[in-house]
Amino acid sequence: MAEIAKIPSFDLTRNYVRVKEEVNVAVRRVLDTQHFILGPEVEALERELASYLEVKNTIGCASGTDSLILAMMTLNLEPGDEVITTPFTFFATASCITRNGGTPVFADVDPFTYNIKSEEVLSKLTPRTRAVLPVHLFGQMCPLEEIKDELKSRGVVLIEDCAQSIGAHRMIEGRVARSGSVGDMGCFSFFPTKNLGCYGDGGLVSVACDEDLASRIKRLRVHGAGDTYFHEEVGINSRLDALQAAILRVRLRHLEGWNEERRIVAERYAELFAENDLLESVTLPAEAKGGFHVFHQYVVRAKRRDELQKFLAARGVTTRVYYPLPLHLQHCFSYLGYKKGDFPVAEMLADEVLALPMFPELLPEEQQCVVSEIADFYRGA
């Protein structure tokens, strides 16, 4: 096959061109006010996102990691307190637990959705369980309706890690339930590559209905101060700045359209893999029944994954591995006592997953090239 131009895993410049003028207007608006930290722009974004998510409150903060830390801070964890989560996720999901003095308890995941399995969560509940932290991985929600009532009956807090899933939803009891609206809290990241990304760092905590909880998170993000210089508790410095909020307000208006474009890209991938008879070599991501996947990443399971990745890189196709080592096998968590074989699905995924190029502006001909190169690899070209 003829040499192809480089195909990136994501391309922020293509997206920026589509909203450049709107963003420039928003940035100039903030520059004219000279109000850069929190303030009216952040408050407006918080209202707009609360409306979009259909929750009572949202609280902007400095990053997705901070959103997790702030949510964990509200639990007042003590030594021995446990938080159940997945071993197949980004590091911050578990580090936010340990940084707050808790113990991560891992539960294995589904091999097709990559999300934590409800029955595994329920099997890990103990009297020491303070919270469950499921991750809506790669853009798809976990079926939280399967565990929510049981957790509530036990007084266990449900915190959603929504860093990769803004706009995803599930049909629950006949209504659309968005990512971040089902649990007690939802934690979001606005890292630039996310479906709703800003042009720096940013994050947000959604609170479904508890006004006191929302007020506390607002205090915690400003060193625990209610009124300036009067501190009710020790918090952190985690404020969303006005420039990022203004940019996010622009981009939020386009989020639904961009998510639909991602779904079209995913559908095209599925068609191309089928047309090229690759379904024995590559396992495609599955959209769970009742769910709406927004494909933050398009992650397949591939035989001879590492060889395939090198083959593609040599031909100009950029791919990524999320995640090459499950958290229970990370050196820093060795004190938890887990060993290889404890979570076989997560370990299998770490050996097989490959994230293909995925962003709304990915061209059909680029996708054809990606899949053709994969076909060449498995045919021994």
**Is residue 194 flagged as an active site residue?**
yes
Q: Are 142 and 170 in contact (CB under 8 A)?
A: no
At 272-298, the pLDDT tens digits run 999 999 999 999 999 999 999 999 999
pLDDT > 90 fraction of the chain, expressed in percent and rounded: 97
- Determine the Cα–Cα distance for residues 168 and 200; give it in Å rounded to an integer: 23
Among the ranges given (3-7, 56-60, 116-120, 275-279), the one the predictor scored with the smallest mean pLDDT? 3-7
- Sheet of 185-189: strand order equals 57-61, 203-207, 185-189, 157-161, 129-133, 82-85, 103-106
Tell me the two tokens of residue 45. 């974004």
Catalytic residue among 6, 20, 124, 194: 194
d(CA 266, CA 271): 9
pTM listed for this prediction: 0.96
pLDDT digits (tens, 9 = 90+) for 80-94: 999 999 999 999 999
How, if at all, do strands 282-283 and 298-302 pair? antiparallel
Domains of the chain (ranges; CATH) run 13-107+114-252 (3.40.640.10), 255-378 (3.90.1150.10)
Tens of pLDDT, residue by residue over 107-138, are 999 999 999 999 999 999 999 999 999 999 99
Residue 5: pLDDT above 90? no
